[in-house]
Amino acid sequence: MNKIYLPIILGTTREGRMSELAAKAVEKIVVQISEDITTEIIDPRNLNLPEDGTASLNPDFQEKIKQADGFIFVTPEYNHSFPPSLKRILDAEKDLSPYRIKPAIIAGVSSGMWGGVRVIEALLPVLRALDIYVGSRDIHFYKVQEQFDESGELLNPQIATEVEKAVLDLVKKAKILKSGRESLVA
């Protein structure tokens, strides 16, 4: 059985970002679900993101996107939308085929009660334009400042359950779509 590769794409470069704790919590849950899943956090701070948008991202990132069987986006809400660094990542390449026909889940991160609902809504049309299939299970890190202890451990078992259910659904879709992509190439 081939492993399913699900990179976790962190949406912001902002200092003091709580979404980094959320991404680490998601990563921890993903690796506990199955040995057949591999994951890693892709941090936009480690990518070439020039402001003018003229340069491509680094080849290592491009290869990870090609190898991905699905995506987990963990992003904070910025003024009812998503961070410019995430938009820059998604728009970096002219060849968008590495994103196509792959599933994704979105984890919204917010300091308020809504848990990033608006960032998820804002991100959906962009992901659909890339031909990324977004399932119906979203993850909501609401009042994120209250969800982690001082060592960064997730305190809320309800969110952990939400993450696990969403990832299990994503894995199922990733396997189906991977099989379909492979049959198109054959």
Contact 158, 29 (CB under 8 A): no
Distance between CA 85 and CA 71 in Å, rounded? Answer: 16
Distance between CA 41 and CA 117 in Å, rounded? Answer: 22
> Is the Cα dihedral 42, 90, 58, 34 positive or negative?
positive
* Each residue's pLDDT tens digit, 114-131: 889 999 999 999 999 999
Q: How much is the mean pLDDT over the chain?
A: 91
Q: To the nearest whole percent, how much of the chain has pLDDT over 90? A: 69
What pLDDT band is residue 183 in, cutting at 50, 70 and 90?
confident
What pLDDT band is residue 135 in, cutting at 50, 70 and 90?
confident
Q: Where along the chain do its domains lie?
A: 4-185
Distance between CA 50 and CA 171 in Å, rounded? Answer: 33
Rounded to two decimals, what is the model's pTM? 0.94
Return phi, psi of residue 83, to 5°.
-65, 150
CA distances from 108 to 18, 36, 86, 97, 156 (A): 11, 25, 13, 25, 15
pLDDT computed for residue 106 by the predictor: 97
pLDDT computed for residue 1 by the predictor: 56
The H-or-E segment that residue 33 falls in is helix 19-33
Any idea which fold 4-185 has? Rossmann fold (3.40.50)
* Each residue's pLDDT tens digit, 41-86: 999 998 876 666 565 667 888 899 999 999 999 999 998 899 988 9
pLDDT computed for residue 134 by the predictor: 96
Q: Residue for token digits 């994103």?
A: 99
Q: To the nearest whole percent, how much of the chain has pLDDT over 70? A: 94
pLDDT computed for residue 51 by the predictor: 63
Lowest average pLDDT, out of 24-38, 48-62, 88-102, 114-128, goes to 48-62
Average pLDDT over residues 126-151: 94
pLDDT computed for residue 56 by the predictor: 64
Strand-pairing partners, residue 74, are: 10, 107
